[in-house]
Amino acid sequence: QLRLMESGGTLVQAGGSLRLSCVVSGVTFKNYAIGWFRQAPGKKREAIGCINGEDGSTDLSDAAKGRFTVSRENAKRTAYLQMDSLKPEDTGVYFCAADRFGVNYCKLQQNEYQFWGQGTQVTVSP
pLDDT in tens, 72-115: 999 999 999 999 999 999 999 999 999 998 778 899 999 999 99
Does the pLDDT at position 39 exceed 90? Answer: yes
Contact (CB, 8 A) for 21 and 8: yes
pLDDT of residue 23: 98
